[in-house]
Amino acid sequence: MNETGTDFIRKTVEEDLASGKYSDGPVTRFPPEPNGYLHIGHAKSICLNFGIAAEYGGKCNLRFDDTNPGRESAEYVRSILRDVKWLGFDPGERVYFASDYFDDLYRFAVRLIKEGKAYVCGLSPDQIRETRGTLTRPGVESPDRNRPAEESLALFEKMKNGEFEEGRYVLRAKIDMASPNLCLRDPAIYRIRKAMHHRTGEKWCIFPMYDFAHPLSDAIEGITHSLCTLEFANNRPLYDWFVSNLTDEPRPKQIEFARLNMSYTVLSKRKLSRLVEEGRVEGWDDPRMPTIAGMRRRGIPPEAIRKFCDMIGIAKKDSLVDVALLEHVIRETLNRTAQRRMAVLRPLKMVIENYPENRSEELTAINNPEDPSAGTRNVPFSRVLYIEKDDFMENPPKKFFRLAPGREVRLRYAYIIKCQSVVKDDATGEITEIRCTYDPATRGGNAPDGRKIKATIHWVSASHAVRSEVRLYDRLFLKENPGAETQDGDFTDSINPNSLEKLSPCYLEPSLRHAAPGERFQFERLGYFCVDLKDSTSQNPVFNRTVTLRDSWAKISARSRRGA
C-alpha cells in the first residue's frame, strides 16, 4: 500500500470494484512508446500500474505503443523490458504491442467509415492546420467531410495498399470542428507512413494515431483503468468517443495523474535524448542520468526507487519533488544492506615510525553494524598506510577534530596514533607524508586507560591496497528546475560542469579485490559505492559513488567558511 494513504486513483479502483463493475479485478497497463529509455518518471507509472494490479488482485500489461515506425526500435523494446524487470515487476506473458492489433484497428476504422463517423480527407497537413481554427475560433469543415462512405472506403483501401505517397490522404474521425476542445475537431486517426516498422516490417503503410490506437488497444486487452499523465486530460473525451462508438461495456476508463518532476534534473525524453546526442553525458546509462539504466549503473537499488515512488504519492497537482527525498531512500536502504569497507579516495601517506618495517597484522572489522549476520572480515595493517587528505590539517580550525600535528586519532579497528611531524615537498610546500607513532596498547582501537578519542578515521595499508578508479557523481544541473524559465531552448545552460570527477589512483582495502560488477558497498565515512557495470575489470576496478553519507562536518565547515 501507499505511504501517504490511499490516493484518488486507488479510491476510484476500490469504488469500481465495490460496485461490481469489474468482476475479475482491475486490469491496468504500462504503455511505453519504444523510442527512448525509461526514466524515474516512468518508474512512478510502473509502480502505480503494477502496484494497483498486485494490491487488488488484478493484472497489469506491458504494452508497447508502437504506432509510429521510424522513431521506434527493437533496441528500445529490449531496454524497456529489461528495466521493468530490474525494477522488480514481471509482466510475465502479458507483454503486448499495439502493432499486434493493427488488423483489429483497421477493422475498427472501416466500421467508423461505414457508419459515417470517419472520412478520408485530402487536405494537406498545412491545410489541416489552417482549418483547425484556434483556441478561440472554431475550425472550418473539410471539403471532404461529407465524402460518401463508399468513396472513403475505397480511398482508405488504397491508402492501405500503398497507392498514395505520405501526406496525400489521412483518415479523420468526424466529430465537431467547432468543439472548444481541439482534440475533437475531426482528429486524424490514420496516416500514411512508408517506413519499416520494427515488428510488422513493410506489411503496413498506414498507421493509427495514438488517440485512436490507445483507447482501442485498452479495450481489446480488457483494461479497466487506463492511467496516464495530466497532459492527456484533453484527450479523454476523444478516448471516450472511440471506446463508446466501437466497443461494449465494460469499457476502460482513463484517469490522469501528475507526472513526476524532480529537482536538479530533467525528465522528458526529448531533453534526455538531447543530453545523449550532444555528448553532455556518456549515454542513456550514464550514472548521472535519471534513467533506470543510469540509476542502475549508479548503484541505486531498485527497492529504493520503489520506495521513492511510494513516498511521493499520486495526485493531480503539478509538483517538483526534491531530489533529496530520493537520496534519503537510497541511504536508508543501503545503510541496511551494504557492507562496509575502507577506501581512501584522496591518499595521503602516513608512516607509523614505531611500527616495525616488515611486520603486518590482521585486524577484525565489522561488515555491517546494522546487520550482525553480515559478520566480520580481516583488514591488514602495516607501517605505511594511506589516509584521506581531508582527515589531516596542519592548522586546524576550532571545530576540526581529526588529525593534526601533536594530536591523537583512532585508526578504525586498528590503533590510536599520534601525529609527530609532517614531511613537505621542499619546492611546493605541499604535505607529502605525515609521521606518526602508534600506541601498541590500543589494538582494535580501544584505549585501556579510558582516554577519549574524538575522531576515528579510515585508512588502508599501502602495501596491501588495491588500486582503483573511483568516479564521483554530482547532480547534473545547477538549477532546481532546469526546464523552467528556458522553454526548451537552453536548459543545457544550467548543466553542472562538475557533475563527474574521476579519481585515480584510489586505494581500497584488499577484500575489495574480487567485488563483482554491480556490487554495492559503503566506503566508511564517505558514501555508498558500487562496482561499475561497464568499465570495471579485475585488473582495473572502477567504482561509482551512488550517494554520499550525510555529512554534518561539511555543513559546519561550509558555514564557518562563509562566516569567516
Catalytic residue among 82, 145, 193, 259: 259
Is residue 182 at the binding interface for RNA, with CB under 7 A as the rule? yes
The cell 475560433 sits on which residue?
Answer: 137
Residue 498: how many CB atoms within 10 A of its CB?
9
Catalytic residue among 10, 59, 269, 331: 269
How far is residue 101 CA from its own chain's centroid? 30
Is residue 166 at the binding interface for RNA, with CB under 7 A as the rule? yes
Distance of closest approach, residue 549 Cβ to RNA, in angstroms: 4
Which residues ranging from 392 to 411 are in contact with RNA (CB under 7 A)?
Answer: 399-402, 410
Return the number of the residue (26 or 313) whose C-beta is nearest RNA. Answer: 313
* Distance (Å, whole) CA 401 – CA 270: 48
Return the number of the residue (13 or 286) whose C-beta is nearest RNA. Answer: 13
Q: Site for RNA (CB under 7 A): which residue of 37, 119, 156, 232?
A: 232
Q: Site for RNA (CB under 7 A): which residue of 1, 18, 196, 324?
A: 324
Helix (H/G/I), strand (E/B), else coil: 145: coil
* Distance (Å, whole) CA 381 – CA 359: 9
Is 33 among the catalytic positions?
A: yes
Q: Which range in 81-89, 112-120, 142-150, 368-376 contacts RNA by CB under 7 A?
A: 368-376
* Distance (Å, whole) CA 517 – CA 251: 47
Which residues ranging from 445 to 484 are in contact with RNA (CB under 7 A)?
Answer: 445-446, 455-457
Distance of closest approach, residue 167 Cβ to RNA, in angstroms: 4
Q: Site for RNA (CB under 7 A): which residue of 78, 90, 124, 394?
A: 124
Residues near 77 by Cβ (< 8 Å), separated by ≥ 6? 34, 64, 66, 198
Is residue 534 at the binding interface for RNA, with CB under 7 A as the rule? no
Q: Site for RNA (CB under 7 A): which residue of 26, 41, 91, 187?
A: 187
DSSP 281-293: SSSTT-TTS-BHH
Residues near 5 by Cβ (< 8 Å), separated by ≥ 6? none
Distance of closest approach, residue 401 Cβ to RNA, in angstroms: 5
Is 336 among the catalytic positions?
A: no
Q: Tell me the one-letter amino acid at 514.
A: H
Residues near 453 by Cβ (< 8 Å), separated by ≥ 6? 408, 409, 410, 416, 447
Q: Provide the grid cell at 366.
A: 565489522
Q: Provide the grid cell at 42.
A: 516512468
Which residues ranging from 135 to 164 are in contact with RNA (CB under 7 A)?
Answer: 135-136
Distance of closest approach, residue 134 Cβ to RNA, in angstroms: 4
Q: Site for RNA (CB under 7 A): which residue of 188, 422, 431, 533?
A: 188
Which residues ranging from 2 to 61 are in contact with RNA (CB under 7 A)?
Answer: 3-8, 31, 33
Residue 118: how many CB atoms within 10 A of its CB?
27
Return the number of the residue (149 or 195) whose C-beta is nearest RNA. Answer: 195
Residue 370: how many CB atoms within 10 A of its CB?
13
Is 259 among the catalytic positions?
A: yes
How far is residue 251 CA from its own chain's centroid? 33
Strand partners, 255: 227
Interface with RNA (CB under 7 A), residue total 94
Return the number of the residue (383 or 525) whose C-beta is nearest RNA. Answer: 525
Is residue 177 at the binding interface for RNA, with CB under 7 A as the rule? no
Which residues ranging from 233 to 292 are in contact with RNA (CB under 7 A)?
Answer: 233-235, 258, 263
Say if CB 216 and CB 242 are below 8 A apart: yes
**Active centre residues (catalytic):** 33, 259, 269
